[in-house]
Amino acid sequence: MKVLKFGGTSVGTPQRIQEVATLVTDGEKKIVVLSAMSKTTNTLIEISDYLYKKNPEGANDVINRLEQTYIRHVEDLYSTREYREQTLDAIRGHFDYIRTFTKDVFTPHEEKVIVSQGELLSTRMMLNLLLERGVNACMIPALDFMRTDENGEPDTAKIKDRLGRLLNELPEADIYITQGFICRNAYGEVDNLKRGGSDYSASLIGAAINADEIQIWTDIDGMHNNDPRVVEKTSPVRSLHFEEAAELAYFGAKILHPTCIQPAKFANIPVRLLNTMEPDAPGTMISNNIDSKRIKAVAAKDNITAIKIKSSRMLLAHGFLRKVFEIFESYRTSIDMICTSEVGVSLSIDDTTHLRAIVDDLKKYGTVTVDRDMCIVCVVGDMDWTHAGFEAKALDAMRDIPTRMISFGGSNYNISFLIRAEDKEKALRSLSKHLFHEE
């Protein structure tokens, strides 16, 4: 059985929902994971914001406008009066429930309940459309099986057990519809998976049922070998190792969150990235197979800040790096790149929330300099150091770009360059020319 996930843009309009319904009814048994319709989650967060500010009138105004949008969708989506009325009743029920929160006291937990309505709405609409078409489909509510533990991490044992029981209770169904992103926490409260959202849901579900394949459908034809917004003539990468995909996702490829496919990786289940606008395109296959000795793609991560700590006391001093890292750990700030010398250490971060406090603490150990408006450009592929020449190709492409830091060797799949943000486009184009388009 396969698991298919469709994002918000893939179900963003009645026409798109109809196209997805056609796409999934190919005669194969599957689980379909849906996000909320595009813009819905942001609107539900806006409603919550009004409620936090104790403005129920503003919240109700947004609720009414969003409800009318869904009512119009229903009119366009169904061809029979029976399913049109059923869906309208369900939609009105969801919005009446949201209105019950327009009161004086509003909590973070209640915001999560409101935000969850987006996925509940989209899955109800899809299920009713499939039933109207005569498809043997049923709902398996994510809130009945998707669980996180006390640390907010997925409780894989409970997910597998509860999902297995639900599927065994409904063995005759051809298509199972469920929600992405939403779950219950260890205390039974409505919560969400945060990182990776619906992609994470699909990966967890696929691992739980040992799926044949996980498909993530978006409006992009897989991962491209460079940023198509900056570089002309980019092309989809047809195959990636899980580690290569994670590097690209971490360093700027927005199609995936870096952690969302980890459950699939550990369960050795291939993940295919596909395009709902071009369903026949092959997309990108991510698996544990290594396509050796190849550079696959380039990605860039913006809004990077570089920090350099220089200290003569570092020379031969054990414990220096530990003290530096403990400062970042105390402020819950992760480090992207790091380079060391005998008298200093340079590193980069993308979260500057606590930058001033971090710098103040680092000054206890040396002279600190900060460079803002930086960018990390990474080259990804099978770049094992024993395969001579790959790093030289990347360095040659960057020869005209001032480079603050270079990181190579921490991973067999990545060489990273820290450069000024203003040089990003030039760097991406040069890398594309030298790595992918040289004759």
- What is the structure's pLDDT at 314? 66
Phi/psi of residue 105, each to 5°? -110, 130
- What is the structure's pLDDT at 51? 94
Q: For residue 371, how many other CB atoms are within 10 A of its CB? A: 16
Kindly report, residue by residue over 172-218, the tens digit of the pLDDT: 999 999 999 999 999 999 999 976 689 999 999 999 999 999 999 98
Return the HEC string of 101-153.
CCCCCCCHHHHHHHHHHHHHHHHHHHHHHHHHCCCCEEECCHHHCCEECCCCC
Q: Please check whether residues 206 and 300 belong to one and the same domain.
A: no
Q: Examine residue 286 and state whether it is found in any structural domain, yes or no.
A: no
Q: Please check whether residues 54 and 174 belong to one and the same domain.
A: yes
Q: Which helix (H) or strand (E) holds 330?
A: helix 320-330
Strand-pairing partners, residue 300, are 377
* Range 1-26 average pLDDT: 94
- What is the structure's pLDDT at 439? 45
CATH of the domain at 426: 3.30.2130.10
**pLDDT over 90, % of the chain:** 67
Q: Please check whether residues 300 and 159 belong to one and the same domain.
A: no
Query: Which of the four pLDDT bands, split at 50, 70 and 90, describes residue 233?
Result: confident
- What is the structure's pLDDT at 316? 56
Q: In angstroms, rounded to a whole number, what is the distance separating the alpha carbons of residues 181 and 48?
A: 18
- What is the structure's pLDDT at 243? 87
Q: Measure CA 107 to chain center.
A: 26
CATH of the domain at 146: 3.40.1160.10
Mean pLDDT, the chain, whole residue set = 90
Range of the domain at 379: 296-436
Q: Which of 170, 185, 219 is the last residue of a domain?
A: 219
Q: How many domains, in total, are found in the chain? A: 2
- What is the structure's pLDDT at 163? 97
Question: The pTM is what?
Answer: 0.87
**pLDDT over 70, % of the chain:** 95
Q: Please check whether residues 58 and 198 belong to one and the same domain.
A: yes
Q: Examine residue 271 and state whether it is found in any structural domain, yes or no.
A: no
Kindly report, residue by residue over 27-63, the tens digit of the pLDDT: 899 999 999 999 999 999 999 999 999 999 999 999 9
Q: Examine residue 144 and state whether it is found in any structural domain, yes or no.
A: yes
Q: Please check whether residues 211 and 312 belong to one and the same domain.
A: no
Q: Do the Cβ atoms of 100 and 57 come closer than 8 Å?
A: no
Q: Examine residue 258 and state whether it is found in any structural domain, yes or no.
A: no
Query: Which of the four pLDDT bands, split at 50, 70 and 90, describes residue 392?
Result: confident
